[in-house]
Amino acid sequence: MSVNDPFGRRRFLAGAGMAAAAVGIAGPAKALQAVGPQGSESTLPFRGEGKRPMNLILYFTDELRADALACYGNPVTRTPNFDRLAREGARFAECHVQNPVCAQSRCSLLTGWPTSVRGHRSLFYLLRPNEPNMFRYLKNAGYDVFFFGKNDALTPESFANSVTEWKDLTAGSPAGATGGVRAMKSDGPTTMLFPGGADRRKTADYPMVQEAIKVLERRESDRPFCIFLPLFQPHPPYLAPEGFDKMYNPGDLPALVPPNLPNKPNFHQAIRETYRLNEASDATLREVRAAYYGQVSYSDWLLGELLEAMERTGRDKDTALIVSSDHGDWAGDYGLIEKWPSALDSCLTHVPLIARVPGGRAGTVSNGMVELYDIMATFLELAGTRATHTNFARSLLPVINGGAPDMDRAAFSEGGYNIYEPQAFEPKLGGLYAPKTDLQNDRPETITRAASIKTQRWSYVARPAGQSELYDRKADPAERRNLIADRSHERVREELQQRLLNWYVDTSGVPEEYRDSRDMPRFIRNPTFPDAAARTQSLLDR
C-alpha cells in the first residue's frame, strides 16, 4: 500500500467510554492506526487486599532528561534510588513528551491529548474546570488526590473539582537560602549557573516530599489516595544543595555535544548570541552540566526519602509509584542551556519513565516507544476506572506485567508559536529570563511551530517556517548531523512526513464530551408568533 493512502489501514475499537489512541505503526507503507487505549479487559495486577483500588504516587521531576540517570546509561551520575526502582519495576527506555515546555507537557500528561487538540500550547493555557483531567477522574472514582509542588497544569478554578489537598513551593529559592536568584541578571553570559551549597532540607522541594510522607504516615482511611509530587529540581537555575553542589568534577564528565553544528535551526545561534553563550568556554558549560547532575542526584536523594517512608509504612505493598519528568534540558549540549519552545531535540523530549507496581514483573526493560501521557491511562486502569473523553493515552500495564511492548509505535511532539499568535508568547520579563523572553518577542521567527515523529530508528522534525531536521537515532544518537537535505534519505523523510500528517489528521479537533442542544428558541420555532420581537420581550418580562 502506498504511503499516500493515509486511511487504507485503520481499525477502530469502539465502545462506551472508550477513547481512540493514535499510535505510529510499523513500516513506511502503513498508515496510522487507532486503538482503544486501555482495552476491553483490565490488566490490573493488584488492587490492595481486594478492598479498594491501588494507591498511586507520581514523583514528577522538572526538566530531567533520561540520559542523566545511571539506569539509562549515564556513565558518571549517581542515582541509586532511580536505579533501584528500575530493578524493582519496569523501565521504559523510550518515553517522549508531547511538548518541551513545562505547562504544555503537563496539560498533555493529565488529558491524554497532544497540546494542539485544545490549544494548550504555551505557559498561559492551563486546564480549565470544563476540561477533563486525570485528577478529576480519580477524585470522582473515590480517591483523595494530594497535589504537593509546582502547578503549571490546572487553573486556580480547576483545583476544587480535581484535588483534595494541595500545597505549593513556598520555601523561597529552589535550592535554598539564595532567594531572588531568578530576579538576578548576569553581567556576562547568561548561563543560569549559580553557587549552590544550601542545606538540602531547606529547599523548596524538601517540604513537598515531607507532605507526601505525612500522607503515608497518617492514612487510615478506606479511601485510596493519589499523591502528585511535581518538584522543581533539576530545573534551572543550575545550583545544587550542599553535598550535591560539588559531587561532580566538570573535567571528569563526558564531552558535551559541540556548538555551531551545520544545518541546525536558527534559534541555536540566536540563543547563543542573545544569552552571550558564544562567550562561554567549554569549561564553563561543563560546570553547568556538573551542577545539573548535582541537581539530578539531589532529586534522587529526595526519591530515596520517599521510598524509605513507603517501606516504613508498608505502603510499598499497596501503592503504585511512577517517576518521570515533563521534559529534558540542553545543560550545555550544542552550547545551549535550558530548553526552547520550538526545540524538539531528543535530549528535550526523551525523559525517564519508571513504574513500580505491586504484582508487576520486576526488572522489566521496555524498548518500545511510549509517550508521557500514557501515565494517565495507566493510573486510571489501576484505579479501576477509565477516561470518558476521547484521548490518545495507552495503558502501560500490559508491559509492566511482563507483556511485549509495541515496537512499531512512534512518539509525537509539538512546540512553538506562529507570528500571528501573539497571545501565546511569553511576556517580556526582567532578570534572569530577560534574554529568553526578549528573543521570543523581538525575533519571533526563532520560535515558529514545529512537530516531530520519533521511531526506533529516526527522528524527524517538521518546521514549515524554519529549518526541518532528520536524524538517524542509531548512528547519531546525539543528533549532530542533520540529514534533511541528504537525497539518499529522501524516501525516509517522505515516509515520516506522511506518518506525521496521518497523526495530525487523527488527533486534530477532538469533539467535546458533551453535546449542545440544537433546539431553536421557542419564539422562532413557533410560527403562531409573527411578531418575534414582542414575543422575545414577553419572555424577558416574565
Work out the widest C-alpha separation in the chain, in whole angstroms.
Answer: 88
HEC profile for 469-494?
Answer: EEEECCCCCCCCCCCCCCHHHHHHHH
CA distance 445 to 56: 42
What cell numbers appear for 513 in the block?
464530551
What is the CATH classification number for the domain harbouring 117? 3.40.720.10
What pLDDT is recorded for position 32?
Answer: 27
Phi, psi of 309 (to 5 degrees): -65, -40
What pLDDT is recorded for position 513?
Answer: 83
What cell numbers appear for 226 in the block?
493519589
pLDDT at position 281 over 80: yes
Mean pLDDT of 110-136: 96
Kindly state the percentage of the chain with pLDDT values over 70: 84
What pLDDT is recorded for position 514?
Answer: 83
Range name among 28-32, 254-258, 362-366, 403-407 with the lowest pLDDT average = 28-32
Do the domain assignments include residue 179? yes
Mean pLDDT of 167-196: 67
The gap from C-alpha 157 to its chain's centroid, in whole angstroms, comes to 22
What pLDDT is recorded for position 163?
Answer: 98
Question: Residue 355 belongs to what domain range?
Answer: 21-42+53-406
Contact predicate 428/463, CB 8 Å: no
What pLDDT is recorded for position 536?
Answer: 57
CA distance 518 to 507: 26
Q: What is the pLDDT of residues 408-464, one digit of tens each?
A: 999 999 999 999 999 999 999 988 899 999 999 999 999 999 999 999 999 999 999
Residue type for position 326: D
Q: At what angle do helices 282-313 and 205-218 cross, to 10 degrees?
A: 10
SS3 content of the chain, % helix, strand, coil (to 5): 35, 15, 50
Do the domain assignments include residue 484? no
HEC profile for 509-520?
Answer: CCCCCCCCCCCC
Q: What is the pLDDT of residues 215-246, one digit of tens each?
A: 999 877 789 999 999 999 999 999 999 999 99
pLDDT at position 175 over 60: no
Do the domain assignments include residue 458? no
E-only strand ranges, 24-164: 33-35, 55-61, 90-96, 144-148
What pLDDT is recorded for position 20?
Answer: 32
Do the domain assignments include residue 340? yes
CA distance 132 to 381: 16
Write the CB contacts of 273 (distance below 8 Å, at least 6 apart in sequence): none
Q: What is the pLDDT of residues 295-333, one digit of tens each?
A: 999 999 999 999 999 999 999 999 999 999 999 999 999
pLDDT band at 80 (very low <50, low <70, confident <90, very high): very high
CA distance 202 to 129: 34
pTM as predicted: 0.88
pLDDT band at 182 (very low <50, low <70, confident <90, very high): low
Contact predicate 244/77, CB 8 Å: no
Do the domain assignments include residue 492? no
CA distance 162 to 151: 13
Range name among 119-133, 148-162, 211-225 with the lowest pLDDT average = 211-225
Kindly state the percentage of the chain with pLDDT values over 90: 78
Do the domain assignments include residue 366? yes
pLDDT at position 511 over 70: yes
Give the residues across from 366 on adjacent strands: 92
Do the domain assignments include residue 503? no
What is the number of domains present in the chain?
Answer: 1
Residue type for position 285: L
Between the CA of residue 223 and those of 143, 165, 251, what are the distances in Å? 6, 14, 51
Write the CB contacts of 244 (distance below 8 Å, at least 6 apart in sequence): 196, 200, 294, 295, 297, 298, 301
Q: Which of 322, 348, 323, 350 is nearest to 333 (CA)?
A: 348
Phi, psi of 454 (to 5 degrees): -125, 125
Do the domain assignments include residue 258? yes
Tell me the average pLDDT of the chain.
88
DSSP string, 430-465: -GGGHHHHHHHHH-GGGG--EEEEE-SSEEEEE-TT
- 401-410 b/e (C-beta count within 10 Å ≥ 16 → b): beeebbebbb
Mean pLDDT of 185-208: 91
Place of cell 500571528: 420
Q: End-to-end distance of the chain based on CA atoms, in angstroms?
A: 65
Between the CA of residue 296 and those of 245, 249, 251, 352, what are the distances in Å? 11, 15, 18, 12
Number of helical (H) and strand (E) elements in the chain, helices listed first: 13, 15
User: For residue 112, how many other CB atoms are within 10 A of its CB?
Assistant: 30
CA distance 532 to 524: 7
